[in-house]
Structure 1
Amino acid sequence: MIGILLPVHNEERRLGACLESLLQASRHPGLNDEPVTILAVLDSCTDHSADIAQEYGIATLDLRVRNVGRARAAGARYLLAQGARWLASTDADSSVATDWLVEQLALNVDAVCGTITLSARDCDLSAATQALFERDYRHQDGHRHIHGANLGVSASAYVRAGGFPFLSCHEDVQLVRQLEHSGARIAWSCKPQVTTSARLDARTREGFGAYLQSLEKIADKPSH
């Protein structure tokens, strides 16, 4: 079984599109009918995220920790207990490509760090900030980007590395560092595709949204 891990905190605006994409990816013929469990870890949600997950028939965990590291770790424990051999992680403000899982598994490694593309429809960024982001981002194999929105790891490598740390931010980066330390084979690939929100209302102080905020400030500075 393949497990998809999705932490959720008040994502009613974007969750439906995310789940639609995950369901399509879970039905890809390249998976040869292997079962896929999609798990939404609802962390301190006060909106209709739980109702949306129920409408889509998605498995859920309800937490009150307001900590993405703990949410991902709890979700991973659940999926491993269900017999998952592979854990694929994304975010509730993202949409995955139909062949997302197939491309991760085809790399035949212990872990996969994929790239992201900013959503053109869900974007709060100025044109100057988007250009700044694209200038420094590497959409190619061999990149060194780490995104919880596009991450995959085998069950054995995940357990060997010690799992997601209980961090409120950068839990994905720390897991990859643990994987590297444990000797895991990691593919830095642009083949598994994920499109993510370019919103500026960051869920964490130091997360991806906060990074985009910092780029916006740089782009807004007058040139001399």
Structure 2
Amino acid sequence: MTRIDAVGVVVPAHDEQDRIGACLTAVVDALAALPDRVVTTVCVVLDRCSDRTEDRAREAARLPLVDLVPNRVRVTVGEVRNRGVARLLARLGGVPAERTWLLSTDADTVVPRTWALDHLRHADRGADGVAGLVDLDDPAALSPIALRRYARLIEAGADVGGGHGHAYAANLGVRAASFLRVGGFPAVAHGEEHALLERLRAHGHRVVSPSDVRARTSARRRGRAVGGLADLLDSLHELPA
């Protein structure tokens, strides 16, 4: 198997001043848990922020590890992530793409210290893409019936091999060479993680969906991206009992 020698993390952020600090602190801690030989970098794409997200990111970031890239025009979330990945690859240019692992998370997500190690465990076994799961940071924010519905959705995607059928941009990893071969994230307004995984599978790349690679994300019902997890959680409240 091809050893991973570099890891880059892309974090889109749109008006996330209250959450970006915890997100970046957790990401940096997860990268610090990797072996010293692994080169790491982080790119936060500040997507049309009108609050103090940039200031809070600078306060939390350990520069020059974390790179802040402004985006001032309205583009799809797929394009936002691609812009961040392009910056990551430029900063990791000395490492072959086959040995580079790209991680994606969200600004309202906190990853565990083992997060990067968990992804590389599967990469070292030959995976080209890893679709992890997310837990909700405040389940009490949902009504009991919505929480039960969400739990059933997660359970419904499980398989007997310990995997699942879900995809979250907040917990996604892909080998850079595979990412480049399929053209990166499609330019879609939402569901970019599903679209990327479909591209990878269609081109014969190996994608795994382990249930033990997890992150913790916001249980809010009003999110930043249309069609994202927040919209799903909101819909679970609106469905008739």
TM-score by length of 2: 0.86
- Once residues 32 and 143 of structure 1 are traced to their aligned partners in structure 2, the CA distance between those partners, rounded to angstroms, is 32
Structure 2, unpaired ranges of 5+: 1-5
Q: What SS is found at the alignment partner of 1:149? A: helix
1:48 to partner: Cα distance:
0.7
For residue 75 of structure 1, the aligned residue among 62, 81, 84 is 84
Counterpart position of 1:215 = 236
Counterpart position of 2:3 = none
CA contact (8 A) 1:101 1:192 kept: no
- Once residues 219 and 101 of structure 2 are traced to their aligned partners in structure 1, the CA distance between those partners, rounded to angstroms, is 28
For residue 172 of structure 2, the aligned residue among 151, 175, 193 is 151
Counterpart position of 2:20 = 15
Q: What one-letter code is carried by the residue in structure 2 that aligns with 1:49?
A: T
1:87 equivalent to 2:96? Answer no
Q: How does 1:24-173 map to 2 (within 5 A)?
A: 24-28=29-33, 30-55=34-59, 56=61, 57=63, 58-66=66-74, 67-83=76-92, 85-108=100-123, 109-120=127-138, 124-138=141-155, 141-173=162-194
- Once residues 148 and 18 of structure 2 are traced to their aligned partners in structure 1, the CA distance between those partners, rounded to angstroms, is 26
- Once residues 221 and 141 of structure 2 are traced to their aligned partners in structure 1, the CA distance between those partners, rounded to angstroms, is 6
Percent identity over the alignment is 34
Q: What one-letter code is carried by the residue in structure 1 that aligns with 2:55?
A: D
- Once residues 143 and 35 of structure 2 are traced to their aligned partners in structure 1, the CA distance between those partners, rounded to angstroms, is 39
Q: How does 1:167-186 map to 2 (within 5 A)?
A: 167-186=188-207
Q: What one-letter code is carried by the residue in structure 2 that aligns with 1:2?
A: V
Q: What one-letter code is carried by the residue in structure 1 that aligns with 2:13?
A: V
TM-score by length of 1: 0.92
- Once residues 136 and 40 of structure 1 are traced to their aligned partners in structure 2, the CA distance between those partners, rounded to angstroms, is 30
Structure 1, unpaired ranges of 5+: none
Q: Deviations over 1:84-106 (max 9, x none)?
A: 61100000000001100001011
Name the CA shift for 1:125/1:54 in 2 (closer, same or farther; >3 Å): same
Please state which structure has a larger fraction of its residues in strand: 1
Q: What one-letter code is carried by the residue in structure 1 that aligns with 2:17?
A: E
Alignment RMSD, CA only? 1.6
